Amino acid sequence: MDDLRFAVLGAGFWARFQLAAWRELPGARCVALYNRTRARAEALAGELGIPAVYDDAEALVRREKPDFLDIITDPGTHRRFVLLAAAHRTPVICQKPMAPSLPEAEEMVRACRGAGVPFFVHENWRWQAPLREAKALLAGGRIGRPFRARLQFSCSFPVFDNQPFLRELDQFILADIGSHVLDAARFLFGEARSLFCVTRRVHPDIRGEDVATVAMRMESGAAVTCEMSYASRTEHERFPQTYLFAEGEEGSLALGPGYEIRTTTKAGTEARRCPPPHYPWADPAYDLVHASIVPCNADLLRALRGEGPAETTGEDNLRTARLVFASYESARTGKSIELKEE
């Protein structure tokens, strides 16, 4: 089959890694790059050999007629670019968080559904090698039916150094990391029926929250807690790893530092390491996350080629977005939020 020709909107911190990950896969070729600051797009395009550069996204879509768009811009622009793709009947991939508000996210999904346009969200966290292995063990019944679990992303990594715009966000860790961790909770344990959330701002020089704790009651009856923090200095922090501890009717599973998974049953404890693959283009500080971009892109590419469904469609990620914004509502009101079945 011929390569799918795609265009990237955005030339910021994550764009170069997203583009590098696409280059690991046969069957897709970037033909154009947009950025509102043209010089920034020209610099990245020159570095990566992308032939066309634009500072007008609509002009790019009209002239290049890409097979799909990959949106790697800030969340406040996602709605505009997804609606542009829908208007031009162009399949589209969007970074998380899908949108800065739930109504916008719902509008984006409706627009693409109404136009018959495939819409995907680049939710790569669930594609991390240790989390995929944990899912396989849980699905295989290794510890029996889970009844309680905790996911923890807590560290003191200076995330504001390479992404200073994060300091100015009114909604920070729940929208940024919560979109990932809450999606991972859904991936591992299914849908939530209710939640309660507490947030806090510890860094004095930021606008949004940098600590959040979300407790959920899942459809299965399991209790799942998600802990997120950029203000925690702990003995075993290993940014950007997510730790997991799950208890089941037949045992427990622990994913801890160094990508080690330990399963304990009445037969004893078994341990294995599940490190991610390493790519030479990955930032060593983000190695785990950057490695997960490749299988996420591969899954989306299969769907774009009509070879099967993708995991992280817009429709699916809307469920994650509802958890994020329900968490904000709970934190604001101090009340538990019941989640409606959709």
In the predicted structure, residue 76 carries a pLDDT above the cut 70? yes
In the predicted structure, residue 209 carries a pLDDT above the cut 90? yes
- The string of DSSP letters for 148-214 reads EEEEEEE----HHHH-GGGGG-SS-HHHHHHHHHHHHHHHHH--EEEEEEEEE--STT-SS-SEEEE
Question: How much is the pLDDT for 18?
Answer: 97
Residues 117, 139, single domain; the answer is no
Question: How much of the chain exceeds pLDDT 70, in percent?
Answer: 100
Judging by beta carbons within 10 Å of its beta carbon (0-12, 13-18, 19+), is residue 37 exposed, middle or buried?
exposed
| Chain centroid to CA 225 | 18
Domain boundary pick from 106, 122, 138: 122
* Average pLDDT, integer, range 254-265: 97
Residue 72: band (very low, low, confident or very high) from pLDDT cuts 50, 70, 90: very high
* Torsion, CA 15, CA 17, CA 19, CA 22, rounded to 10: -140
Give the tokens for residue 78: 């996602």
Residues 229, 284, single domain; the answer is yes
- Cα distance between residue 34 and residue 30, in whole Å: 11
Residues 110, 206, single domain; the answer is no
Question: How much is the pLDDT for 257?
Answer: 95
Residue with tokens 């966000």: 169
Residues 222, 107, single domain; the answer is no
Residues 197, 67, single domain; the answer is no
* Average pLDDT, integer, range 99-115: 97
Question: How much is the pLDDT for 289?
Answer: 96
Residues 133, 204, single domain; the answer is yes
- Cα distance between residue 294 and residue 214, in whole Å: 29
Residues 202, 143, single domain; the answer is yes
Could you tell me if 152 and 242 are in contact, meaning their C-beta atoms sit under 8 angstroms apart?
yes
Domain boundary pick from 67, 96, 122: 122
Output the pTM of the full model: 0.95
Could you tell me if 137 and 253 are in contact, meaning their C-beta atoms sit under 8 angstroms apart?
yes
Question: How much is the pLDDT for 255?
Answer: 98
| Chain centroid to CA 249 | 30
Question: How much is the pLDDT for 163?
Answer: 84
* Average pLDDT, integer, range 25-38: 97
pLDDT tens digits along 146-200: 999 999 999 999 999 888 888 998 999 999 999 999 999 999 999 999 999 999 9
Residue 215 lies in a domain: yes
Domain with 116, as residue range(s), is 4-122
The H or E element that residue 251 is part of is strand 251-256
Domain boundary pick from 122, 157, 176: 122
- Cα distance between residue 222 and residue 145, in whole Å: 9
Give how many domains the chain has, as a whole number.
Answer: 2
143 secondary structure, DSSP code: T
Lowest mean pLDDT among 1-5, 78-82, 179-183, 331-335: 1-5
* Torsion, CA 129, CA 231, CA 202, CA 320, rounded to 10: 10
Preceding omega of 26 cis (within 30 degrees of 0) = no
In the predicted structure, residue 342 carries a pLDDT above the cut 80? no
Residue with tokens 């950025």: 35
Residue 304 lies in a domain: no
Residues 62, 146, single domain; the answer is no
Residues 12, 153, single domain; the answer is no
* Average pLDDT, integer, range 332-337: 98
Q: 223 or 165: which carries more pLDDT confidence?
A: 223
Question: How much is the pLDDT for 162?
Answer: 81
In the predicted structure, residue 320 carries a pLDDT above the cut 70? yes
In the predicted structure, residue 237 carries a pLDDT above the cut 80? yes
pLDDT tens digits along 121-155: 999 999 999 999 999 999 999 999 999 999 999 99
Residues 97, 183, single domain; the answer is no
Give the three-class secondary structure for 59.
helix
Residues 268, 152, single domain; the answer is yes
Could you tell me if 238 and 285 are in contact, meaning their C-beta atoms sit under 8 angstroms apart?
no
* Average pLDDT, integer, range 270-291: 95
- Cα distance between residue 245 and residue 39, in whole Å: 46
- Cα distance between residue 297 and residue 217, in whole Å: 31
* Average pLDDT, integer, range 46-66: 97
In the predicted structure, residue 1 carries a pLDDT above the cut 80? no
Residue 313 lies in a domain: no
Strand 28-34 with 52-54, pairing: parallel
